[in-house]
Amino acid sequence: MARDMAAYYCGLSVNTFADRVKAGRYPEGIRDGGRILWDKVALDNSLDAESGTMPSLDQVDKDRAELDKLYGHDQA
């Protein structure tokens, strides 16, 4: 979806959405020719991480590393 629709979907103004993308809180858009589009699933994942519904990928990586230490598994 286009940036204005992505911002609306997230409940934000276009400027606030752009600021949060720049800050890394929301995903970068995907270039498609001359347009930049946002993936709905990627936005949903970011919103879930923000709300605490789903852990962030950084947290998943930290948890996996901790489990690997505890149980001696090597990462493939």
Q: Which of 48, 14, 63, 32 is nearest to 40 (CA)?
A: 48
Q: Which domain holds residue 16?
A: 3-71
List beta partners, residue 37. 30
The answer for residues whose C-beta is within 8 angstroms of residue 26's C-beta and 6 or more apart is: 6, 10, 17, 20, 43, 46
Query: Residue 51 falls within a domain, yes or no?
Result: yes
pLDDT tens-digit readout, 9-56: 999 999 999 999 999 999 999 999 999 999 998 999 889 888 877 766
- How many domains are there within the chain? 1
CA pseudo-torsion sign 53, 59, 61, 63:
negative
Kindly report the pTM of this predicted structure: 0.67
Query: Residue 76 falls within a domain, yes or no?
Result: no
Query: Residue 61 falls within a domain, yes or no?
Result: yes
pLDDT score recorded for residue 4: 97
The answer for residues whose C-beta is within 8 angstroms of residue 8's C-beta and 6 or more apart is: none
